[in-house]
Amino acid sequence: MAHDPHPETILGQLALNIYDEEIGQYTQGTERTTEIVLISGWLEGHLGELNNLIYTSFSGDNPEGFLLEEQAIMREMYVSEYNRKKERAALRRMDGDGDTINWQTIQEGDSVIKRQIDTSNPTPKLYHQAYLASQERMKELIYAYNMYKASPRQIVGKDSDEAPSMTGIYQKTV
């Protein structure tokens, strides 16, 4: 059994969890290891996007302060992208540009009817629905994070050390 890549790093552990809990096509071997390495690289490559979404500055494969909330958003970002890519691949297969699918052709005179025989492949619609659900979940996570985790940029009033002068702001003229 191959060793898991970089399980000692936060992103390596997150990649391992994503693969095992979301994708999990292989339970062991080089295919599993390769997929986990690819997921880990994707996560590290998209930290900047996460930073833009939640106003943070994470970097590297072991970002400091990368807690469960941030990991949940990053996981949903990956799952969303995974579903988007699967949707495109399914569309290519249906269009005949990807792997071949068995088609039944019926022709009579000038009329031609083509019908897909292989029904075991998921349709792009299913992946699109999964993508939309994942996007919605990601938006909810980002909103909750920014609403409850973000610290205020300025404090005015009783909470601040110095209250600003209110002179000239609300002056009534008589």
Q: What is the DSSP string of 60-97?
A: SSS-TT--HHHHHHHHHHHHHHHHHHHHHHHHHHHHTS
Burial of 162 (0-12, 13-18, 19+ CB in 10 A): exposed
Indicate the pTM of the whole model.
0.70
Q: Report yes or no on 165 lying in a domain.
A: no
Q: Say what the pLDDT of residue 1 is.
A: 39
Q: Report yes or no on 114 lying in a domain.
A: yes
Q: pLDDT tens across 87-140, in order?
A: 998 888 776 654 555 666 777 778 877 766 555 566 888 999 999 999 999 999
Domain that holds residue 137: 10-148
Q: Report yes or no on 54 lying in a domain.
A: yes
**Residue 76 scores a pLDDT above 50:** yes
**Residue 145 scores a pLDDT above 60:** yes
Q: Say what the pLDDT of residue 5 is.
A: 55
Q: Where are the alpha helices (DSSP H) in the chain?
A: 10-18, 30-45, 47-54, 68-95, 124-148
Q: Report yes or no on 172 lying in a domain.
A: no
Q: Report yes or no on 56 lying in a domain.
A: yes
Q: Report yes or no on 58 lying in a domain.
A: yes
Q: pLDDT tens across 3-57, in order?
A: 445 678 999 999 999 999 998 877 788 888 999 999 999 999 999 999 999 999 9
Query: How many domains are there within the chain?
Result: 1
Q: Report yes or no on 19 lying in a domain.
A: yes
Q: pLDDT tens across 20-33, in order?
A: 999 887 778 888 89
User: Do the Cβ atoms of 32 and 19 come closer than 8 Å?
Assistant: yes
Q: Report yes or no on 164 lying in a domain.
A: no
| Cα gap 79→72, rounded to integer Å | 11
